[in-house]
């Protein structure tokens, strides 16, 4: 039987795996918080043993969902410590984790402020899935008194759109809820699409909830602006070396219950897709709104990763 503190790491991992905790920002903060809480109570005989235990916990959290780079960036930021003794190591992890959690929450607010300038009075904004960064943009525009409306998609198969309309309802933003396949029917009424991101690659392409790429294509056809709201820890350092982003494929049962009844049917359920940078007008980060082709700069200047390092 695992010790209680380690069980708590396993519990957080399970919540992420089963999507009780979901969305790239929430996942990252939950992992950082779990590492901090584990570090706070972990009793070991030596620094080496402490380091080993912390790495084991980090690995477990990292293996929960494969796509969101926020998870590996958060883990990397928390685990980036050098310590001469155990108490030093403990303190560093706690302060790294607290800093990450605070900065990431603040980043979402700043993105809201910056992104809201792109929304005009009277605009119709379309959003997909449930992104805290995208909702922050919408709510900041609404708070400043802009008369805006939102179209929110259902976001099958997990229906994260219901979470989005719940938040928009609380904020009082007039919202229309549609099925994913109705996006083209409404695109001519839309002034701006705002979505979040699980990953931004070095060339500015964006991995986000399945269906995002189709929406971008439809927006492109209708000449509607397409904006991504993404904190800098959603940018993927490894993509500068051309490493592909793993697209999570979830259980067929999410789409087709009793799938085993069908002998000749194969169900595919990718959770995310890639929107090529050519379809993205702007990526709004906490350090400013950038053109997608500037993404490498974020990886280099903000995350500190460079070719050859």
Q: Give the strands of the sheet with 282-285, arranged side by side.
A: 175-178, 149-153, 124-127, 192-195, 225-229, 282-285, 288-290
Active site residue 198: yes
Q: Residue 12 or residue 208: which is nearer to ligand RUB going by CB?
A: 208
Q: Summarize as ranges the residues that interact with ligand RUB (CB under 6 A).
A: 22-25, 129, 131-133, 160, 196-198, 208-209, 271
Question: H or E element: which one contains 24?
Answer: helix 24-41
As a whole number of angstroms, the distance between CA 266 and CA 252 comes to 8
Q: How far is the CB of 269 from ligand RUB (least distance, A)?
A: 11
- Given 129, 180, 281, 284, which residue is catalytic? 129
Q: How far is the CB of 271 from ligand RUB (least distance, A)?
A: 5
As a whole number of angstroms, the distance between CA 180 and CA 160 comes to 11
Q: How far is the CB of 1 from ligand RUB (least distance, A)?
A: 31
Q: How far is the CB of 196 from ligand RUB (least distance, A)?
A: 3
Q: Residue 57 or residue 129: which is nearer to ligand RUB going by CB?
A: 129
Q: Residue 75 or residue 131: which is nearer to ligand RUB going by CB?
A: 131
120: which DSSP letter? P
Q: Residue 54 or residue 216: which is nearer to ligand RUB going by CB?
A: 216
Q: What is the largest CA-CA distance in the chain?
A: 65
Active site residue 147: no
Q: Give the strands of the sheet with 199-200, arranged side by side.
A: 199-200, 206-209, 272-275
- Given 85, 103, 191, 198, which residue is catalytic? 198
- Dihedral of CA atoms 165, 282, 103, 48 in degrees, nearest 10, equals 110
Q: Which residue is nearest to ligand RUB (CB)?
A: 196
Q: Residue 131 or residue 295: which is nearer to ligand RUB going by CB?
A: 131
3-state secondary structure 195-261: ECCCEECCCCCEEEECCHHHHHHHHHHHCCEEEEECCHHHECHHHHHCCCCCCCECCHHHCCCCHHH
Q: How far is the CB of 210 from ligand RUB (least distance, A)?
A: 8
Residues classed as catalytic = 129, 198
């Amino acid at each position: 039987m695992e010790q209680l503190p380690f069980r708590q790491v396993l519990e957080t991992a399970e919540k992420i795996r089963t999507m009780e905790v979901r969305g790239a920002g929430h996942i990252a903060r939950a992992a950082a918080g779990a590492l901090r809480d584990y570090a706070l109570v972990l009793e070991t005989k030596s620094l080496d043993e402490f380091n080993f235990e912390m790495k084991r916990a980090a690995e477990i959290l990292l293996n929960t969902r494969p796509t969101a780079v926020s998870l590996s960036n958060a883990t990397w930021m928390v685990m980036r410590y050098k310590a001469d003794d155990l108490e030093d190591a403990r303190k560093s992890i706690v302060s790294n984790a607290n800093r990450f959690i605070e900065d990431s929450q603040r980043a979402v607010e700043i993105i809201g402020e910056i992104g809201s300038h792109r929304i005009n009075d009277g605009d119709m904004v379309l959003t997909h899935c449930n992104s805290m960064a995208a909702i922050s943009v919408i709510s900041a525009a609404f708070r400043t008194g802009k008369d805006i409306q939102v179209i929110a998609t259902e976001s099958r198969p997990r229906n994260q759109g219901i979470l989005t309309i719940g938040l928009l309802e609380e904020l009082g933003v007039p919202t229309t809820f549609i099925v994913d396949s109705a996006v083209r029917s409404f695109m001519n009424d839309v002034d701006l699409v705002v979505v979040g991101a699980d990953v931004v690659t070095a060339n500015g392409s964006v991995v986000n909830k399945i269906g995002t790429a189709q929406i971008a294509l439809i927006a492109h056809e209708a000449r509607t602006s397409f904006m991504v709201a993404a904190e800098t820890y959603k940018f993927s350092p490894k993509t500068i070396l051309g490493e592909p982003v793993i697209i999570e494929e979830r259980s067929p049962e999410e789409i087709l219950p009793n799938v085993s009844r069908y002998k000749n049917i194969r169900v595919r359920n990718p959770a995310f897709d890639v929107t090529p940078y050519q379809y993205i007008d702007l990526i709004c980060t906490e350090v400013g709104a950038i053109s997608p082709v500037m993404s490498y700069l974020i990886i280099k200047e903000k995350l500190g990763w460079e070719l050859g390092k």
